[in-house]
């Protein structure tokens, strides 16, 4: 049966941090090539319908930690915080795997990115789940610690913003449409990347509540992955729509 290897957690978290920096350097200048940033000319690349792609890609981030949680023997009953935090992680990916694909009307997703995205979700699902189920130690009153409560609050707030903004985006198109429109309502009033802002707040909240290296590494990865993407979306909108609201920022309301 499995046990905790702290050096494995350290190695996997460091690699995640390094991948984050690699992403930042790659995607600050050129956005990752799916959705509105996919280059049209190269038709040779295979694609999968957005619904299937998001389902397949995100499934391991739900399944791997859920299985680790369910199959650990003897089951880990103490401390409660470990199971709660693992459930929060799974809850987000339950939404992303089983609910989001029903709503998306996105363009077909490039197979190559789907492959790397799936690898990433296996990797990160394992790291977060393994750490929480086999390694994490908390005092028995962690659930009332200010880090847990404030982190949980941020997580819930971020998740609310993320889901609300996802749904606003998905409603912009009628079935079968592939055009882009100006997002309106919710936090889109203030930023072009409202869904990304929510997701980033969510994972930093998770990191604060978990107070661990793997969770901070993942929050940092998220920031480096979708932060630049918000900026590229913003530039795309400014270029495409002459009447795009001038006061709207890229990612952080009123700031940037």
35 touches ligand NDX by CB under 6 A: yes
Q: What are phi and psi of 177, to 5 degrees?
A: -75, 150
Which lies closer to ligand NDX via its Cβ, residue 116 or residue 256? 116
Could you say which of 24, 122, 170, 252 contacts ligand NDX (CB under 6 A)?
170
Stretch that binds ligand NDX, among 6-14, 153-161, 167-175, 206-214 (CB under 6 A): 167-175
Do 249 and 238 contact (CB within 8 A), yes or no?
no
248 touches ligand NDX by CB under 6 A: no
63 touches ligand NDX by CB under 6 A: no
Could you say which of 12, 16, 19, 82 contacts ligand NDX (CB under 6 A)?
19
254: left (phi over 0), alpha (psi -120 to 50) or beta: left
Which lies closer to ligand NDX via its Cβ, residue 23 or residue 142? 23
- Sequence-ordered list of residues with C-beta below 8 angstroms from that of 29, at least 6 positions apart, any chain: none
3-state SS of 184-238 is: CCHHHHCECCHHHHHHHHHHHHHHHHHCCHHHHHHHHHHHHHHHHHHHHHHHHHH
Residues near ligand NDX (CB under 6 A) are 19, 22-23, 32, 35-36, 50, 58, 104-107, 113, 116-117, 120, 162, 166, 169-170, 172-173, 180-181, 183, 195-196, 199, 222, 225-226, 229
């Amino acid at each position: 049966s499995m046990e905790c290897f702290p050096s494995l957690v350290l190695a996997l978290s460091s690699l995640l941090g390094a991948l984050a920096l690699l992403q930042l350097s790659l995607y600050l200048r050129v956005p990752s090539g799916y959705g509105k940033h996919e280059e049209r000319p190269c038709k040779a690349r295979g694609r999968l319908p957005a619904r299937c792609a998001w389902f397949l890609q995100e499934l391991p981030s739900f399944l791997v930690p859920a299985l680790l949680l369910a199959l650990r023997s003897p089951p880990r009953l103490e401390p409660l915080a470990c199971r709660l935090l693992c459930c929060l992680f799974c809850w987000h990916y339950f939404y992303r795997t089983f609910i989001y694909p029903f709503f998306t009307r996105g363009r077909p997703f490039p197979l190559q990115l789907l492959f790397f995205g799936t690898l990433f979700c296996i990797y990160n699902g394992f790291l977060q789940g393994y750490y929480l189920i086999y390694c994490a130690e908390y005092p028995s009153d962690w659930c009332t610690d200010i880090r847990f409560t404030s982190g949980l609050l941020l997580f819930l707030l971020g998740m609310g913003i993320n889901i609300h903004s996802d749904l606003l985006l998905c409603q912009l198109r009628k079935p079968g449409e592939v055009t882009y429109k100006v997002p309106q309502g919710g936090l889109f009033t203030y930023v072009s990347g409202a869904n990304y802002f929510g997701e980033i707040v969510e994972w930093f909240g998770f990191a604060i509540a978990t107070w661990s290296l793997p969770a901070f590494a993942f929050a940092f990865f998220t920031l480096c992955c979708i932060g630049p993407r918000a900026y590229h979306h913003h530039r795309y909108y400014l270029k495409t729509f002459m009447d795009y609201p001038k006061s709207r920022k890229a990612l952080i309301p009123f700031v940037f």
